[in-house]
Amino acid sequence: MSREKSNANLRPGWKPGQSGNPKGRPAGKPDKRGVFRRAIQEHGEEIVSVVVSAALSGDLAAAKLCLDRLAPPLRPSAEPIELDLPEGSTAEEQATRVLAAIARGEVDPVNGKLLIDTITSVSALTELPAILSRLEALEAARDGT
């Protein structure tokens, strides 16, 4: 890729190597998050000991913090779903079959929506090359090439 093309996406007035935020953090100044992380690493055991002691003394906020770290919230999961979606069928046909499965109670509505969203996304991906090809043909016809 030529240098001209790689710079084509820059905002007008910006030059390669020029900061987008010239008044930002000066070079060499330590990042506050890094300083904070180092302090936590240095005193981590003491911090954990204080929080656990507070939790054992009845501090519900400290207890919640400890429990959240020991047993994080469960992520939703679903059992595998078996549907007959014939290969080569259209996205509309596949979505209709998913809706029918939801109506029959074979698939819960939340997972059914996820399936339809996935079908829609895959359909858009497979249609994109055809759309681009048609667009290129129209542009070529317009330009007479």
Percentage with pLDDT > 90 across the chain: 40
Give the lowest-confidence range in 1-5, 16-20, 65-69.
Answer: 1-5
pLDDT tens-place string over residues 97-123: 999 999 999 999 999 999 999 999 998
In this structure, are 95 and 136 located in the same domain? yes
pLDDT of residue 18: 73
The answer, yes or no, to whether residue 78 has pLDDT greater than 80, is no
In this structure, are 56 and 95 located in the same domain? no
In this structure, are 108 and 139 located in the same domain? yes
Tell me the pLDDT of the chain averaged across its residues. Answer: 85
Residue 27 lies in a domain: no
pLDDT of residue 102: 94
Nearest to 66 by CA among 54, 80, 83: 54
pLDDT of residue 1: 45
Confidence of residue 10 (pLDDT cuts 50, 70, 90): low
What is the domain count for the chain? 2
In this structure, are 95 and 135 located in the same domain? yes
pLDDT of residue 11: 61
pLDDT of residue 92: 93
In this structure, are 95 and 64 located in the same domain? no
The residue range of the domain holding 118 is 91-143
pLDDT of residue 19: 72
Computed over its alpha carbons, how large is the radius of gyration of the chain?
28
Residue 25 lies in a domain: no
In sequence order, what DSSP letters do the residues of the chain get, joined into one string?
A: --HHHHTTTSPTT--TT--S-TTSSPTTPPPHHHHHHHHHHHHHHHHHHHHHHHHHTT-HHHHHHHHHHHSPPPPP----------TT--HHHHHHHHHHHHHTTSS-HHHHHHHHHHHHHHHHHHHHHHHHHHHHHHHHHHHT-
Half-sphere exposure of 10 (CA within 13 A, CB side): 15
